[in-house]
Amino acid sequence: MSYIQSDAVSCRFCGDRVGLLRGEASVRYGWRGGNGDLCIDVTGKVGQAGVIGVGYWKRKGDPVWVWLGWQNNTGGGANWAAGPPQEIYPGGNTGTKTWFTYLAAGCVYPLIRVIAGGSTDTLKGKEVCVPS
């Protein structure tokens, strides 16, 4: 199985973001990996409380178990979604996992921990910078 990131895609969960409905600044990025699309969305501005959303849409391949998270590029540990991993089949998705958090200056990137075939791999996506 291959989970290599490649082409950029538009995020499918853009419409269900809390911040967009309030007219706040928002940025998002997605990419098409070997078997699915992983997206990150940041709503809010530097120095304020905001929302980070991460979602995964599986297009093909064997079923896998996944956890979603994010991390900033200025230090600190990963922020993982609460609860157990989700089993995802082709055509399925995780929905958008959201974190209400203080938005510091810098960039964040999505994380996906994939459990398949007896192994666990953690992959990070392309970063997106917090709007100033």
H-helix or E-strand spanning residue 7: none
Res. 122: pLDDT tops 80:
yes
Q: Where are the domains of the chain?
A: 8-129
Architecture of domain 8-129: Sandwich (2.60)
Q: Note the pLDDT of residue 28.
A: 52
Question: What DSSP state is assigned to residue 20?
Answer: H
Q: Note the pLDDT of residue 79.
A: 96
- E strands, the chain, in order: 8-9, 26-32, 36-43, 48-58, 64-72, 79-80, 86-88, 93-103, 107-116, 119-124, 128-129
Report yes or no: 61 and 3 within 8 Å, Cβ to Cβ: no
Q: Note the pLDDT of residue 6.
A: 34
- Which tens digit of pLDDT belongs to each residue from 56-96? 888 888 899 999 999 998 888 999 999 999 999 999 988 88
Q: Note the pLDDT of residue 12.
A: 45
For the ranges 30-39, 94-103, 115-124, the lowest mean pLDDT is seen at 30-39
H-helix or E-strand spanning residue 24: none
Q: Note the pLDDT of residue 3.
A: 32
Question: What are the tokens at 114?
Answer: 């994939």
Give CA–CA dist 58/52, Å, rounded: 20
pTM over 0.75: yes
- Which tens digit of pLDDT belongs to each residue from 1-44? 233 333 344 444 433 433 333 334 445 555 555 688 888 888 89
Give CA–CA dist 43/32, Å, rounded: 22
